[in-house]
């Protein structure tokens, strides 16, 4: 029997949201229903701007790297003149992928099936034995080039869309642009991914990762090993002098909170827990001269930014970029990178990498805690007798519309602000994502 098609009202029922009484509950079908996953792929991932990489991943003419937009494989290429573009990784002839590696440099791609050849601007420059092919006019009239998709960049952050029917990239990013600037402006020439990345999968829904990035509430309970090790290092019990870890035990003493934005983006932040421990601190004078004291203060604070739906810049233990690729309602692929300022000193770079390995990397002290927690949730969602999750309510009496004083000092206007003592460990920061999610899905169902 075919599952019943979803209706607009079905999506409405997945939320209990009452601003007046402060009720907010999320239905667990959001994480487990195949029909919802299918709709998410169609609307949120395949008719929307999707982050595909950093310009520094293809710095030179004819550099390329492969990526994904939703379920579709793509290649981002810099052509011989230095122009970046994005193309579906599929040969127009019979569909073979023409780029086999994660990244590289190639003046042309020769399809390994029948030898059609393309330059890095996507033009077909050779069709093997074309003269003897007996082709008729309709074939000759075709554009044999690679299939180009919509592409744009903000600073060095690259985005692509499978649909032309999207707002401009600047409209999509909106008020998060000053927050992306805090990532990009850490070096005079921007930031780059440290060579090497990790790709892994976890058996849970992609939105578990979206939520976790801004989940301050899990920190003390989900990462006890890290917290304990940091305390022991501080107490002088460790021989390890290589890592200057950020002491997250301090988070409960500082101010922080969360911001929601249009189109699902979100920020969790904490004010300056230990600026002197960061790699960036070594270059603080140069950075301050370039961007001013307020931006520097924000750069040295803890900021976990999600650009909805598929990229996160988590700046806490170090600066990590995470790219999310949903595979199924209960399976997600993550690719993670350590970021550093282009041209920074070896000393700064080494602090960033040591802190990254310590906390973030797949072998770090935190990432496995988080992915196991997502898998435990997805396991629990199979208990279908239970429909609702209650974890969206902390901070609800604190949330205000628009900007608060912290947002005001940096100069961005979020949809909502909820800041104060970090120990409130706000959960209203998820709401913007689900409001956008609902809108994306309902727009599709309303057509």
Question: For residues 117 and 272, which CB has a smaller minimum distance to ligand FES in the complex?
Answer: 117
The one segment of 112-120, 213-221, 361-369, 418-426 that binds ligand FES by CB under 6 A: 112-120
Is residue 396 a contact residue for ligand FES (CB under 6 A)?
no
Pairing of strands 255-260, 266-270: antiparallel
Build a one-symbol-per-residue string for 115-134: x at contacts with ligand FES by CB under 6 A, - elsewhere: xx------------------
Is residue 93 a contact residue for ligand FES (CB under 6 A)?
yes
Site for Fe ion in 18-77 (CB under 5 A): none
What's the min distance (Å) between Cβ of 140 and ligand FES?
Answer: 17
Is residue 96 a contact residue for ligand FES (CB under 6 A)?
yes
Question: For residues 115 and 343, which CB has a smaller minimum distance to ligand FES in the complex?
Answer: 115
Q: Which residue is nearest to Fe ion (CB)?
A: 370
Beta-carbon neighbour count of residue 7 at 10 Å? 12
Instruction: Please tell me the distance from the alpha carbon of residue 325 to that of residue 185, in angstroms, as a whole number.
Output: 27
**Cα distances (angstroms) measured from residue 171 to each of 185, 403, 436:** 21, 18, 14
What's the min distance (Å) between Cβ of 355 and Fe ion?
Answer: 15
Q: What angle is formed at CA 278 by the lines to CA 275 and CA 279, rounded to 5 degrees?
A: 140
The one segment of 37-45, 71-79, 92-100, 340-348 that binds ligand FES by CB under 6 A: 92-100
Is residue 139 a contact residue for ligand FES (CB under 6 A)?
no
Beta bridge partners of 333: 201, 325
Question: For residues 111 and 373, which CB has a smaller minimum distance to ligand FES in the complex?
Answer: 111
Among 16, 80, 113, 386, binds ligand FES (CB under 6 A): 113
Question: For residues 22 and 95, which CB has a smaller minimum distance to ligand FES in the complex?
Answer: 95
Is residue 100 a contact residue for ligand FES (CB under 6 A)?
no
Is residue 94 a contact residue for ligand FES (CB under 6 A)?
yes
Question: For residues 25 and 96, which CB has a smaller minimum distance to ligand FES in the complex?
Answer: 96
What's the min distance (Å) between Cβ of 92 and ligand FES?
Answer: 8
Instruction: Please tell me the distance from the alpha carbon of residue 267 to that of residue 301, in angstroms, as a whole number.
Output: 12
Question: For residues 116 and 184, which CB has a smaller minimum distance to ligand FES in the complex?
Answer: 116
What's the min distance (Å) between Cβ of 73 and ligand FES?
Answer: 14
**Cα distances (angstroms) measured from residue 416 to each of 203, 319, 429:** 31, 25, 8
Q: Are 262 and 415 in contact (CB under 8 A)?
A: yes
Question: For residues 223 and 438, which CB has a smaller minimum distance to Fe ion in the complex?
Answer: 223
Q: Are 243 and 358 in contact (CB under 8 A)?
A: yes
What's the min distance (Å) between Cβ of 108 and ligand FES?
Answer: 13
Site for Fe ion in 354-393 (CB under 5 A): 370
**E runs forming strands in 106-222:** 108-110, 117-119, 124-126, 148-154, 157-161, 191-193, 198-202
Is residue 102 a contact residue for ligand FES (CB under 6 A)?
no
Instruction: Please tell me the distance from the alpha carbon of residue 447 to that of residue 439, in angstroms, as a whole number.
Output: 12
The burial of 206, by beta-carbon neighbours within 10 Å (0-12 exposed, 13-18 middle, 19 or more buried), is given as buried
The one segment of 38-46, 91-99, 118-126, 201-209 that binds ligand FES by CB under 6 A: 91-99
The one segment of 111-119, 186-194, 211-219, 236-244 that binds ligand FES by CB under 6 A: 111-119
Instruction: Please tell me the distance from the alpha carbon of residue 407 to that of residue 409, in angstroms, as a whole number.
Output: 6
DSSP state at residue 95? -
The one segment of 46-54, 113-121, 161-169, 251-259 that binds ligand FES by CB under 6 A: 113-121
Instruction: Please tell me the distance from the alpha carbon of residue 427 to that of residue 395, in angstroms, as a whole number.
Output: 6
**3-class DSSP state of 372:** helix
DSSP state at residue 407? H
For the chain, count helices (H), then strands (E).
Answer: 14, 23
- The contact set with Fe ion (CB under 5 A) reads 370
- The contact set with ligand FES (CB under 6 A) reads 91, 93-96, 111, 113-116
């Amino acid at each position: 029997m075919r599952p019943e098609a979803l209706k607009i009202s079905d999506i409405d029922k997945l939320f209990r949201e009452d601003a007046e009484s402060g009720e907010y509950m999320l239905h667990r079908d959001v994480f487990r229903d195949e029909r919802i996953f299918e709709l998410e792929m169609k609307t949120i991932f395949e008719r929307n701007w999707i982050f595909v990489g950093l310009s520094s991943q293809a710095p030179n003419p004819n550099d390329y790297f492969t990526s994904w937009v939703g379920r579709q494989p793509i290649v981002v290429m810099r052509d011989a003149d230095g122009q970046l573009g994005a193309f579906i990784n599929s040969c127009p002839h019979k569909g073979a992928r023409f780029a086999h590696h994660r990244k590289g440099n190639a003046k042309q791609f020769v399809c390994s099936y029948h030898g059609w050849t393309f330059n890095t601007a996507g033009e077909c420059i050779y069709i093997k034995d074309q003269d003897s092919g007996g082709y008729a006019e309709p074939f000759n009239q075709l554009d044999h080039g690679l299939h180009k998709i919509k592409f744009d960049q903000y600073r060095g952050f690259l985005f692509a869309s499978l649909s032309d029917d999207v707002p401009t990239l600047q409209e999509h990013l909106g008020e998060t642009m000053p927050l992306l600037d805090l990532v990009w402006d850490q070096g005079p020439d921007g930031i780059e991914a440290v060579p090497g990345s990790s790709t892994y999968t976890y058996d849970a829904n992609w939105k578990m990762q979206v939520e976790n990035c801004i989940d301050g509430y899990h920190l003390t309970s989900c990462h006890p090993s890290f917290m304990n090790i940091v305390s022991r290092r501080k107490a002088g019990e460790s021989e390890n002098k290589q890592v200057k870890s950020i002491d997250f035990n301090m988070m409960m003493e500082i101010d922080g909170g969360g911001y929601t934005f249009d189109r699902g983006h979100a920020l969790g932040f904490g004010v300056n827990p230990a600026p002197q421990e960061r790699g960036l601190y070594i270059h603080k004078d140069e950075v301050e001269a370039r961007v001013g004291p307020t931006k520097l203060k924000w750069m040295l604070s803890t900021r976990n930014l999600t650009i909805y739906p598929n990229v996160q810049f988590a700046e806490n233990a170090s600066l990590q970029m995470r790219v999310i690729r949903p595979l199924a309602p209960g399976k997600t692929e993550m690719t993670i990178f350590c970021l550093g300022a282009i041209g920074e000193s070896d000393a700064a770079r080494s602090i960033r990498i040591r802190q990254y390995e310590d906390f973030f990397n797949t072998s770090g002290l935190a990432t496995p805690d988080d992915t196991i927690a997502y898998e435990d949730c997805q396991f629990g969602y199979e208990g279908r007798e239970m429909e609702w999750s209650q974890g969206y309510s902390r901070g609800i009496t604190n949330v205000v519309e628009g900007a608060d004083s912290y947002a005001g000092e940096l100069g961005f206007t979020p949809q909502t602000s909820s800041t104060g003592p970090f120990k409130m460990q706000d959960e209203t920061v998820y709401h913007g994502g689900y409001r956008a999610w609902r809108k994306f899905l309902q727009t599709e169902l309303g057509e």
